[in-house]
Chain A
Amino acid sequence: MTTELLGIALIFGITIALSIPLGRYMARVYAGERTLLDPVLGPLERLFLRISGIDTLREMTWKEHLKALLTINLVWFLWAMFVLTNQSWLPWNPDGNPDMTPDLAFNTAISFLVNCNLQHYSGETGVSYFTQIFCLNFLQFVSAGTGMAAAVIVFKAIRDKQTTQLGNFYDFFLKSCTRVLLPLSLIVAVTLVFNGTPMNLEGKASYVSMQGDSVQVSQGPAAAMIAIKHIGTNGGGYFGVNSAHPLENPSYFTMIVELLAQTIIPLGMIFALGYYIRNRKFSYMVFGVMTVGFLALLAPAVWSEVQGNPAIAQLGISQPGGSMEGKEVRFGSVASAYWSIITTVISTGSVNAMHDSTMPLSGMAELLSMMTNAFYGGCGVGILNFYIFIILAVFISGLMVGRTPEFMGKKVEGREMKIAMIVALLHPLLIMAGTAIASYLAAGDVNMGWWYLNAEGQPNTATAWLNNPGFHGFSEMLYEYTSSSANNGSGFEGLGDNNPFWNITTGICLIFSRFLPIIGPVAIAGLLASKKYIPESAGTLRTDTGTFGIMVFAVIVILAALAFFPALALGPLAEYFSI
């Protein structure tokens, strides 16, 4: 067990050690300085830009940024809908997988567009290779790039003292994709290929087992997708069971690689912020708060997994490896617990174990990771979510020192508070309203009609989507909406979610929870940037201090975490106290 604990400590240490230089590199990229890949990619980019007629030197206001961002996202959505509903006749479909139903296509397109990757389908049977590469893989790149570009708009707004010109969206977006995501993904994909992950266009392989059964094994262009699913914190696996699959995550070593891959950009973004705005202390404050939050969530998860399942212990069975239900022996309980928290704090949502089978306290930690949604967080968007909490903390603590609140020399007033509050409210609203509707339907066991048909095409009642009754069933529903609203994409599983009800409600949840938390911070940053800069004085509250960090942490705990207390009490806490 000690070795396993040392293992995760080492992984976390390496992550930090790698993310600091990556942060410096990203700050250089976004500041427009020359980097190593310029000679290779520069001419290619210029060619594409010339063809498309985009001038990346034209500076944009925050509104123009958002217009560009939303327009290009709409185009991608239409493309994804087209591919998903037509994949059966499109090329590269050796296994002959069918078109998606419209509601599933809607859910899948949205969920990949918004960096969530909820996946109400299974990769082996649900999509073609063409879809995997040109739709899903593509969206995994551009959705991560979108998030990072949005974060850079905010970075620039913080750095430049007084301006409405906040750089060019396409410039930020392109650089995110070609200078950060692409090279990192290449490294990870090649590593995976050498460790046994397939990367081909062939159909199912088959062999006859020792028992004489004929076994079919899905393969295809997996390594590329697994690389970007982590680098871009997407989480959408190539195979249905995600990184628990032996071809998707063959060994403890590849697990380390995949863990590193999903963590370094969110952490790197924090340090990039410090380098970019030339205030590294500020990024240490952000990193400190996020890390304290992360460790506070990790500890109960690791502890309860190591303890094992009390129900099994009561049977007199010893559990030397901790709780192993739903886990892969090659990873063990500690690394699985670590992964489950990493993948939920960072909105990846890839899994290497069954979250449904984790112990109640771990389940709660996973839920809380997504409910707070501000510790590290996804590619770019993590820091945007955190920015909202900074604004709220700035407001309260600014008052506490007797000044109209200001952040980095800009006054925070009614308009910014309104936007910050809407974004902060949105997350609990989507989670709780979604879960409330589902609970209401389940409590009354309502006939779902068209919204939920069974295999025979007959309407199901609502409780049919629950594989577990009671508190755990509640946790499953809560988890699904939490995962959607946090754009996480992991599932508690055990929930019958591939039906119009879940596809459509979570799809709507995804759209709101992706774009409002991008629009909000960019708008606030843009509004603040255009305000008059107030030089710092002895009366100014510094935001790069530990005291302010405590304040941000307290705001996150009270606003984001405690709001879910009643819901958690009915789900994981009730389960925990009842076993």
Chain B
Amino acid sequence: MSTKSTRLFEPALVQTAIREAFVKLNPRSQFRNPVMFTVELGTIVMLLVTVYIAATGDQSQGSLAYNLIVFIVLLLTLLFANFAEALAEARGKAQADSLRKTREETPARLVQPIGELYVGEIKTVPSSQLRKGDVFLCETGDIIPSDGEIIEGIATIDESAITGESAPVIREAGGDRSSVTGGTKVLSDQIKVLVTTEPGESFLDKMIALVEGASRQKTPNEIALTILLAGFTLVFVIVCITLKPFADYANTPIPIAAFISLFVCLIPTTIGGLLSAIGIAGMDRALRANVITKSGKAVETAGDVDTLLLDKTGTITLGNRRATHFWPANGVTENDFVETALLSSLADETPEGKSIVELAQQQGIKASLPAGVELIRFTAETRSSGVNLPSGVRIRKGAQDSIRNQVIRQGNTVPAEIADRVKAISQNGGTPLVVAQNDEVQGVIELQDIIKPGMQERFERLRKMGVKTVMVTGDNPLTAEYIAKKAGVDDFIAEAKPEDKMQYIRTEQANGKLVAMMGDGTNDAPALAQADVGVAMNSGTQAAKEAGNMVDLDNDPTKLIEIVEIGKQLLMTRGTLTTFSIANDVAKYFAIVPALFILSIPGLQRLNIMRLHSPESAILSAVIFNAIIIPMLIPLALKGVAYKPIGASALLRRNLFIYGLGGVVIPFIGIKLIDLGVSLFF
């Protein structure tokens, strides 16, 4: 991951956010949020009352100073809420900008098409002029001007500008790794790239638009929560409006400021003010984890995921198999066998071959290939490889059935102990490679998958979250089962073909589960589209990226786990702040209701359990508390409530204790403290 600013209140962002907070006072943008819209209406009424008092000097509604302060506090409440949203937006935008900056205005070498073929002249144009369907050329040292797909050539590319990962990656035409990202640098070779998106329509552009609010749509969960909050607001509309005739009947005049303060304090302004900030912050956190989300809903859904499909290779195990053991046949010394194995692999460029060399060297065996050696490459037909030495010695290594065939054809047999060993290795999830010299079996090399460190713990954590993990592998069922057990995943799909993945996802979904998966290849695209959360790797094909609802810039297959936690955090932050906001009402009732009636019904002084100084100070303290709690909770809203996989009931107990009980107690203390200050003036 690249260096990301983690400071919450970056001065530059705060400045932008403050400016935006005022712009957002526009009723049209407030209208999206019913809770804050009613606060705005209340603020306007208070402004009118203040102006009226200033103009006429009528004191029946309380002093000018008192009404002015109520107005200012209400205005601050609005500004604080707007600030929270603006800050979340600014942070998201800054994050996206830093990604986008890398791809601004680089010269692009456009290939002028002549007829059907991309051969003609090369013309240098600014990257902003590239259109979908254009083809450009990149050579060593070039910055790639735009996202696209390689149609010709192979190149090593430095993607550190995007991913922060310094190791170069190989991208080539035709495969599942044909995508290149604008802003990355070609380190070697030459490629021709087809532009796949119109300018301003890349995933990053879409995400920025999402954060900026222009195209931000409320997610289903946000809608449901808004309904709940609107309901709570309406309850208090009823409470406050009906209070007027009640008070008239009781001959208790209530000033307008008190009505509006009561209303604003009771409606859930805390969560109402922070709601959209929480949603944007969820996308921010995803972006911070270098994941581009195509919608806010995707992040939310991630929190609900029941089943996680993970590719074995690269996710659960370290890339490729590695040699872990040499098993010589009877009558062959270990050193001789290791040397034979080493000779067979010295020219072998596959990761497995390299790992055999490494293991042999670790055991202190050294050998080099003599000149004039003949290399026998692996083919799908022979399923073996090896060398023919000038001395006439033929060494072959390969899958046990292919070597056995070769051996038997020459009239030899596979020794019993080797056959047993081969079986044992397979059962332990390993891959046996049998080595023969001049068609006589010398021994067997054991290759094993190495499970990434820390994976077991991660799967345990997921299990506690209630997420089922499924390993997808091309291995045979025996090997797959062994690795699945060792890594601690709940299920596996062995000998998996793309259709199998699709089938598995469909079955899980038919049982009501939400499935997340990660993929990169074109043949993953249908499954990515079918999955509820499909994360495409940025290195993957355009088709895969279109099909998924998130793109991972790091191409890190374990990223899914982080995404699930980000989703859960998002929902939890909403839930806990809602609880906190509603729980606050208890104290606010006890601050304001006595204050409304004390003057005409002195007996109600006994309801003033906080012993607030005067009706004015009580009301001011409540609205001030109500206002300042919003900025105080901004860090929590933006960072999210920490998720702890301790089981749903325990988590509820914990959050109910902190945010529910805390929400009841804190305002009692807060309002009392503020009252101590306010009482000096009122």
Chain A interface residues (CB < 8 Å from chain B): 392, 395-405, 409, 412-414, 416-418, 421-422, 424-425, 428-429, 432-433, 435-437, 439-440, 442-444, 471, 474, 532-535, 537-542, 545, 547-548, 550-551, 554, 558-559, 562-563, 565-567, 569-570, 573-574, 576-578
B369, chain A: closest CB distance, angstroms? 55
Instruction: Provide the main secondary structure of the chain A interface.
Output: helix
Sample of 20 further A-B pairs with CB below 8 A, known A565-B589, A574-B597: A395-B228, A398-B571, A404-B300, A414-B224, A417-B228, A422-B231, A424-B231, A432-B242, A443-B249, A541-B649, A542-B648, A547-B652, A551-B652, A554-B583, A554-B656, A559-B235, A562-B586, A566-B262, A573-B607, A578-B601
Residue of B nearest to A569 (CB): B593
A563 CB contact (under 8 Å) in B235, B569, B575, B647: B235
A395 to B228, CA, bound (A): 9
From B135-143, B345-353, B461-469, the one touching the partner chain is: B461-469
A-B contact count (CB 8 A): 217
Please name all residues of chain A whose beta carbon is closer than 8 Å to the beta carbon of B656 when the two chains form the complex. Answer: 397, 400, 547, 550-551, 554
What residues on A are CB-neighbors of B513 within 8 Å?
534-535
- In the complex, the answer to whether B250 meets A558 with C-beta atoms within 8 Å is no
Does B378 reach chain A (CB closer than 8 Å)?
no
A399 to B651, CA, bound (A): 11
Best-surrounded residue of B227, B569, B576, B659 (most CB of chain A within 10 A): B227
Do A413 and B648 touch across chains, with their CB atoms under 8 A apart?
Answer: no
B229-261: CB near A (< 8 Å → 1, else 0) gives: 011101110110111111111101000000000
Which B residues, 82 to 102, have Cβ-Cβ distances below 8 Å to chain A?
none
Cβ-based interface call for B304 (8 A): yes
User: Is the Cβ of A399 less than 8 Å from the Cβ of B225?
Assistant: yes
CB-based nearest A residue for B597: A569
Answer whether A538 and B648 are a contact pair too, CB < 8 Å, given A402-B643, A414-B220, A558-B586. Answer: yes
Given contacts A535-B511, A554-B660, contact A421 B231 (CB under 8 A): yes
- Known contacts A399-B578, A414-B224; decide if A565 and B238 are in contact (CB<8 Å): no
Q: Indicate the member of A398, A474, A533 with the most B CB atoms within 10 Å.
A: A398
The listed residue (B230, B467, B571, B585) touching A562 by CB distance below 8 A is B585
CB nearest neighbor in B for A442: B249
Q: A402-B569, A537-B306, A559-B232 are in contact. Are A396 and B512 (CB under 8 A)?
A: no
Q: Which residues of B contact A541 (CB under 8 A)?
A: 648-649, 652
Check B571–A402 contact: CB distance below 8 A: yes
With the chains together, A413 CA to B304 CA distance in Å? 14
Question: In the complex, A400 Cα to B575 Cα: how many Å?
Answer: 4
B582 at the interface (CB under 8 A from A): yes
Enumerate chain A residues within 8 angstroms of B617, measured Cβ to Cβ. Answer: none
Contact A443 B245 (CB under 8 A): yes
Interface string of B575-609 (1 = CB under 8 A from A): 11011001101100100011011000101111100
- In the complex, whether B177 has a CB less than 8 A from a CB of chain A is no
Task: Write the chain A residue with the least CB distance to B511.
Answer: A535
CA distance A435 to B596 in the complex (A): 19
Q: From known contacts A401-B651, A425-B235, infer whether A396 and B578 are also in contact, taking CB-CB under 8 Å.
A: yes
Report, nearest first, the 5 A-B pairs whose CB atoms are least far apart.
Answer: A539-B466, A399-B575, A577-B603, A402-B568, A421-B231
CB distance from B269 to the nearest CB of A (A): 15
Q: Is A545 in contact with B649, judged by CB distance below 8 angstroms?
A: yes
B518 CB-CB contact with A under 8 Å: no
In the docked arrangement, what's the CA distance between A569 and B600, Å? Answer: 12
Partner of B238, one of A404, A417, A428: A428
**B245 touching A396 by the CB < 8 A rule?**
no
Query: Within 8 Å CB of B239, what residues of A?
Result: 428, 432, 563, 566
Give which listed residue, B246, B300, B603, contacts A566 with CB less than 8 A.
B246
CA distance A422 to B605 in the complex (A): 35
Please give me the residue from chain B that is nearest to A416 by CB atom. B224
| Chain A residues positioned under 8 Å from B651 (CB to CB) | 400-402
Given the complex of chains A and B, what is the CA–CA distance between A397 and B604 in angstroms? 35
Min Cβ gap B595→A in Å is: 11
Q: Closest chain B residue to A429 by CB distance? A: B238
**Bound CA span A152–B512, Å:** 25
Within 8 Å by CB of B248, from A413, A439, A538, A576, lies: A439
Listed by A's residue number, 7 A-B pairs whose Cβ atoms lie within 8 Å are A412-B224, A421-B231, A433-B242, A547-B653, A547-B656, A569-B597, A569-B604
Least CB distance, A568 to chain B, in whole angstroms:
9
State in angstroms the CA–CA spacing of A422 and B659 once bound together: 26
CA distance A401 to B465 in the complex (A): 10
Kindly identify which residue among B246, B252, B604 contacts A577, using a CB–CB cutoff of 8 Å. B604
Whether B246 lies near A397 (C-beta < 8 A) is no
**In the complex, what residue of chain B is closest to A534 when comparing beta carbons?**
B512
The minimal Cβ–Cβ distance linking A360 to chain B, given in whole angstroms, is 11
Q: Check if A577 sits within 8 Å of B606, measured CB to CB.
A: yes
Q: How far apart are the CA atoms of A240 and B123 in the complex, in Å?
A: 101
Contacts of A424 in B (CB 8 A): 231, 235
Cα A435 to Cα B300 in complex, Å, equals 43
B223 at the interface (CB under 8 A from A): yes
Chain B interface size range: 35 or more
Taking CB as reference atom, which chain A residue is nearest B236?
A: A563
Is B402 on the interface with A (CB-CB < 8 A)? no
Taking a contact as CB atoms under 8 Å apart, the answer to whether A436 and B246 are in contact is yes
Chain B 192-240 residues near chain A, CB threshold 8 A: 220-221, 223-225, 227-228, 230-232, 234-236, 238-239
Residue of B nearest to A397 (CB): B652
CB distance from B299 to the nearest CB of A (A): 12
Once bound together, how far apart are the Cα atoms of A550 and B512, in whole Å? 29
Contacts of B221 in A (CB 8 A): 399, 404, 413
Q: How far is the CB of A523 from chain B (nearest CB, A)?
A: 15
Closest beta carbon of chain B to A151's beta carbon, Å: 24
In the assembly, what is the distance between CA of A425 and CA of B238, in Å?
Answer: 9
Please indicate the chain B residues that have their CB under 8 angstroms from the CB of A425 in the complex.
231, 234-235, 238
A400 touching B655 by the CB < 8 A rule? yes
Contact residues in B for A573 (Cβ distance below 8 Å)? 604, 607
- B505, CB-defined interface residue at 8 Å: no
Q: Is B572 an interface residue (CB 8 A)?
A: yes
Min C-beta distance of B590 to chain A, whole Å: 9
Q: How many whole Å from B601's CB to the nearest CB in chain A?
A: 5
Complex-state Cα separation, A545 to B586, whole angstroms: 25
Contacts of B223 in A (CB 8 A): 414
Is B589 in contact with A562, judged by CB distance below 8 angstroms?
A: yes
Q: A474 and B652 in contact (CB under 8 A), knowing A537-B306, A538-B465, A569-B607?
A: no
- Taking CB atoms, residues of chain B closer than 8 Å to A432 are 238-239, 242
With beta carbons under 8 angstroms apart, the residue of B246, B262, B303 that contacts A567 is B246
Q: Which residues of A contact B248 (CB under 8 A)?
A: 439-440, 443-444
User: CA of A540 to CA of B514 in the docked complex: distance in angstroms?
Assistant: 13
Distance A542 CA – B651 CA, assembled complex (angstroms): 11
Q: Binary interface profile of B, 92-136, with partner A (CB < 8 Å = 1, else 0)? A: 000000000000000000000000000000000000000000000
Q: How far is the CA of A273 from the CA of B247 in the complex (A)?
A: 43
For residue B659, which residues in chain A have a CB less than 8 angstroms away from its CB? Answer: 400
Q: Does B294 contact A (CB under 8 A)?
A: no
B288 at the interface (CB under 8 A from A): no
A531 to chain B, nearest CB (A): 9
Q: Report the minimal beta-carbon distance from B648 to chain A, rounded to whole angstroms.
A: 4
- In Å, the complex CA distance between A417 and B232 comes to 12
Q: Does B574 contact A (CB under 8 A)?
A: yes
Measured CB to CB, the nearest residue on chain A to B241 is: A436
Which chain B residues lie closer than 8 Å to A551 at the CB level? Answer: 652, 656, 660
Given B235, B250, B306, which contacts A474 in the complex, CB threshold below 8 Å?
A: B250
Instruction: For A539, list chain B residues within 8 Å (CB).
Output: 306, 465-467, 648
Q: Which residues of A contact B303 (CB under 8 A)?
A: 402-404
A565 touches B652 (CB 8 A): no
- Chain B residues closer than 8 Å to A559, beta-carbon distance: 232, 235
Nearest neighbor of A412 in chain B, beta-carbon distance: B224
Which one of B224, B306, B593 lies within 8 Å of A565 (CB-CB)? B593
**Chain A residues positioned under 8 Å from B652 (CB to CB):** 397, 400-401, 541, 547-548, 551
Tell me the smallest distance from the CB of B259 to a CB of chain A, in Å.
11
Report how far A265 CA is from B659 CA in the complex, Å: 37
